[in-house]
Structures are given as structure tokens and as C-alpha cells.
Amino acid sequence: MEKDTATHTDSPVSHAETKTTGKRVKKKMNPQAPPPEPLLTVKQVSKWLNCSRHLVISMASDGRLPCVNISRSAEYRCFRFRRSDVEAFVATSYVPPKKFEFHEVTRNGKPVNVAHEIAVQKLRQRGFKI
């Protein structure tokens, strides 16, 4: 068998199979195209979002968090994430904090520590005499 020397070149190429012949065909990559952005792992995304890896995998499986599945089997999923997709996810899922209205609680004209009063009520419900 002759060795195909045409496929071993110094230029960056990617190979694709043709359906008609089953042989590999060289496709030259666009030299002016920007390099692809690096993909993030589940661990990196979970650290960035400050959540568990299980939650990141769950959101990726549900389609809530855009991802790239780089494995071929259905049972073993290996997700990778584009930084721009995660940034867009964070930007669209931001929920502003609620503003709480504080009402001053008074008893006989004196301010009351509400947390202390709640704790005392719970202790009295348990049978303690305070």
C-alpha cells in the first residue's frame, strides 16, 4: 500500500469524510478567522457561578444553560461551555434584590427587638418560663 503523502502538510487542515467515496478530503481552515474561544469545564463554570457542579450539569441537560456536548454516548455526557454563553446566561438571569420595608415595632412607646421577641415566644411555646 502506498502512503498518502498529500494529507501530511504543514498548513492547518481539518479532515471530513465524504459520503460518496468514504475517503478523507482536505478542507483548509480560514487563516483570517479568529481562533475559537477556549471552552470552560463544568468545574470552572460552577466556580464562576458559585454553585454546585450538579446544578450546572442539570441546567445544561435541561437546556437552561447553553453548552457543547463533546461526548458521543448518551449516557456519558461531557459538557463544555463558551464563556460568552455563560456571560449571556448570567446577564439574562439577574434578579434585583427586593427592598424590604422596616416598620419600627414599639411596646409602650419603647422600641422592641423583634428577633429577641420571636425567640422568647418560641421558648415559651416549648414550656420554658421566661
CATH code of the domain containing 83: 1.10.1660
* Euclidean distance between CA atoms 13 and 7, whole angstroms: 9
Residue 105 scores a pLDDT above 60: yes
* Euclidean distance between CA atoms 19 and 27, whole angstroms: 15
Could you tell me what percentage of the chain is helix, strand and coil, using 3-state DSSP and rounding each to the nearest 5?
30, 15, 50
Residue 21 lies in a domain: no
* Euclidean distance between CA atoms 47 and 28, whole angstroms: 37
Residue 112 lies in a domain: no
Q: Which of 12-16, 86-90, 93-97 shows the lowest mean pLDDT across its residues? A: 12-16
Residue 10 lies in a domain: no
Q: Number of folded domains in the chain?
A: 1
Radius of gyration of the chain (CA): 30
Q: Under DSSP, is residue 84 helix (H, G, I), strand (E, B) or coil?
A: helix
Domain ranges, residue 54: 39-92
pTM over 0.85: no
Residue 77 lies in a domain: yes
Residue 54 lies in a domain: yes
Residue 58 scores a pLDDT above 60: yes
* Euclidean distance between CA atoms 20 and 6, whole angstroms: 20
Q: Could you give the count of Cα atoms lying within 13 Å of 122 in the half-sphere of its Cβ?
A: 6
